[in-house]
Amino acid sequence: MKTRTDPRHKKRIRRFKKLFSYSFIRNEPEVDLGIEKVVSKLKKIDAFIQEAAPEWPVDRLNKVDLAILRLSVYELLIVRKTPPKVVIDEAVEIGKEYGSESTAKFVNGVLGALLEKHRQDSEKPVAKTE
């Protein structure tokens, strides 16, 4: 299936847009359980991002890059249902479509570093409580 027509890609785009909006208006997320769960884990997600890109404080990151990274780190290291290559490829595609010239490369680098560091963790089965 082509990425742009894939329903899973469209769902990621919707979640990315909601996370992007959330970075400006910190109200309660809408009923979408995907975004609600991501928001509930933001401290942990942001710590992962900071670990992989220590020279880029989370509060200084481009909001598009941050939204892509938050969604992708959630899928990659917390939920762990989707294969890591798929998560990273999707993040790069979203970065190319919505970010700046450097977004795709930056997102790929951060996620690649996190995957390398946490590879064993990301290959463990996910707990049902997540």
Average pLDDT, stretch 56-81? 95
Average pLDDT, stretch 8-21? 91
Which 3 state secondary structure label does DSSP give 92?
helix
Q: Within a domain: residue 104?
A: yes
Q: Within a domain: residue 9?
A: yes
Q: ∠ CA 7-88-90 to the nearest 5 degrees?
A: 25
Q: Within a domain: residue 52?
A: yes
Average pLDDT, stretch 104-128? 79
Average pLDDT, stretch 25-45? 77
> pLDDT digits over 84-111, tens only?
999 999 999 999 999 999 999 999 999 9
Question: What domain range is 99 assigned to?
Answer: 3-122
Average pLDDT, stretch 116-127? 65
Predicted local distance difference test score (pLDDT) of residue 32: 61
Q: Which of 24, 19, 48 is nearest to 35 (CA)?
A: 19
Q: Within a domain: residue 72?
A: yes
Q: Within a domain: residue 127?
A: no
CATH (domain of 70): 1.10.940.10
Structural domain count of the chain: 1
Instruction: Name the token pair of 79.
Output: 């939920």
Q: Within a domain: residue 130?
A: no
Q: Within a domain: residue 128?
A: no
